[in-house]
Structure 1
Amino acid sequence: MVQAHNRRAIRGIVVHCLHDPGEGDNADAVEIVEDGLLVIEQGLVACVGPAADLLPQLEDSIEIEDQRGRFILPGFIDTHIHYAQTDMIASYGEQLLSWLNRYVFPTEGRFGDKEVADETARFFINELLRNGTTSALVMGTVHRQSAESVFQQAYARDMRMVAGKVLMDRNAPDYLLDTPDSGFRDTRDLIERWHGTDRLSYAITPRFAPSSSDEQLQRAGELAHQYPDTYIHTHVAENLDEVEWVKSLFPWSRSYLDVYDRFGLLRERSVYAHSIHLDDLDRRRMTESGAVAVFCPTSNMFLGSGLFDHDRTHQQRVAMALATDVGAGTSFSMLRTVSEAYKVGQLNGSSVAPLRLLYLATLAGAEALDIDDRVGSFRRGREADFVVLDPQATPLLARRTAYADTMQEKLFALFMLGDDRHVRATWLRGQPALQKDES
């Protein structure tokens, strides 16, 4: 592992959330320092403040990286993504269930091959970093090797990551099925090997309720009970046909979410991708249990699944975060994802405020994964995971921000018009993990 430099500083427009800004402008929730300094010591945030105040206090020998005019944000946190679906992103013409059978399952069938898993995991990690994502919750395939590969690649890059192998013992091709016993054993062994290793954590990962038998979901619940600090990562209520299918497979359940609840899979550190077609009782239960609803705007629109109700979810105090959901999601960029989240809000009759968008892409993800004491903001002692964003990287954004009157307006324009071209650098624990050529 690369050791962090003892002490260094980054100068630029420093912006981070201290807590949830809600839907309005909350001066106490977000810190914006136009000419700011982020001081790093041993890979951790030492302090943040105006450069004019902090520069005189620094020793002459400290290395200062000048990024004035560029935004320095906490690294983006992607709370639901499938690394094994990288190679079938942007596959045409299907909705969820037919899309799984036509594209996803054949692609995922290749991941029992270590070379395929390793090569894809390397590309995947690089693509996350190229887009400014510093932490992610990653779904593998049914193969144990899929989890091993992505953990190994994340460890090599010193990246904070949560991942897991899929549990799936029915309603999929034979080459993608495990069993309740083998899934239990593989998951237990992977937890023992990887959970808590450096910056890595494990997620117990039933793909979705239709692909696991009652017995497998029961065994997953046993693991969740035995390892209470692991995560639970799955899908819920993404597609109306899927919801009807769950009713037929689990006729005793009150709702799709109730299936997971009955098997002990609804608790703190349980993360439910999509959460579109829920009712108020479901949302109340999520709030009570501490479960997280994940907003996946690009994939929901790409597959025609529906519009996530941000306002209703927020009003009922359900914890929520944002995700790309590659490969149904159409971009690794959390900037593109934030842009689509805003548009979904508009279609639902509300405007998600710029600072709330910032929160969803950074601190909300850290809170969802229960790592906000380590990443997601620039509070003192947090790990120095951050991204440098250049509004001059494209002519249109440069022109738009030149006419912006406030930092919030500039930030909103960056969210609407930004993409991977605007990511100048991505840092992990005070070290540059990716830096783009200035040319």
Structure 2
Amino acid sequence: MNNLMNVLGKQSKEAARQLSQLETAQKNECLLQMAADLENNTQSILTANQQDLKQARKNGVTDPLIDRLRLTDIRIQEMADGIRQVAALPDPIGVVEKMWRTEDQLMIGQQRVPLGVVGIIFESRPNVTTDAASLCFKSGNAVILRGGKEAFYSNQMLVELMQQTLRNNQLNTAMIQFVNDTSRDTANEMMRLNDYLDVLIPRGGAGLIQQVKMNATVPVIETGTGNNHVYVDQAAQLDMANDIVINAKAQRPSVCNAIETLLVHEDIAPEFLPLLEESLASYPVALRADSKALTYLKKAGLAVEEDWKTEFLDYILAIKVVASLDEAIEHINHYSSKHSESIVTDSYQNGQRFLKEVDAAAVYINASTRFTDGVKFGFGAEIGISTQKLHARGPMGLEHLTSSKYIIYGDGQIRE
């Protein structure tokens, strides 16, 4: 085993035991200091981020992905505020969710406990570093962060600042650790760190997530690639649909809750698609349409099968005209990554069918998919958007980073 990962694993295991014993007030005070330390070191963070941006441009990284990587005064402030929001959330650790008495007169309770050591492999976005670290810390978990090479200097600086806060509070800096080797070898070693990792969470594109799913021997929580859709029903308000599609595609196309495909009912396609194309003229969105949709659009290329399967993370929108709600639901369930799906309709019946029949972590009626986010759901920061069905699904907040144990009170009972 790679000596670096072995050392980090051992240190994290010990730190997790210490962290699990901290009182809520101590954790919250440390988190508030972390937030303040980020703000007080904004310039150092921006300087490190500039190194990453310079290298990304040199490597030909696309503009939307550059946007994911870029930090600003405002984004650093938002990261600090996110940590404060985590501090303000109720602490799930130690909570006894229910208790009952058995026929043997045992009192049994189910109590929330940390998972232990959480490993996170992620790409590009430096805010993941502070979100993940603060959520793991508050939920009593040590964390090993392995970011991509694109954000190496930013992530390194952020972790150094958080570790300094831990040091200032006489806490073990191994509660938050950073893998300073971005080679594929360390990623592969992390996927097999069974003696130390309790769970591994990948955050990034489809390639990273598939690699982790196929190669990891530690338990994995799959987080979401976002091949998301908006379906504009024949009963939709066209102005509302127009606003929702523009927001879901063009506000920030590089994030996992943006849409990649638009489905439009054939009855309203002749009116809606020209309206949408005119509105999208203000954005550099390339349209890839099926043959029916092409007849209503002035500037669009012909979509191919691969377009329906692709998370573009870019200013590209695939468009398909469908004959019915049934066809829309069938298309979504076939191609969706099961992240976020939306219908725009004034039909109560069609909306309810969509909610019931579409298989995704978040299903919307008359709203943008961009709301699939821990903060917007009221969870505070998120560790990721889980697209699987075991343990957690959707935005993962504090509670999803816990497990449970049964606590049993007796007065001398023995089993006959």
User: Please, what TM-score do these two structures have when normalized by structure 1?
Assistant: 0.28
More strand per residue: 1 or 2? Answer: 1
Larger Rg: 2
User: Please, what TM-score do these two structures have when normalized by structure 2?
Assistant: 0.29
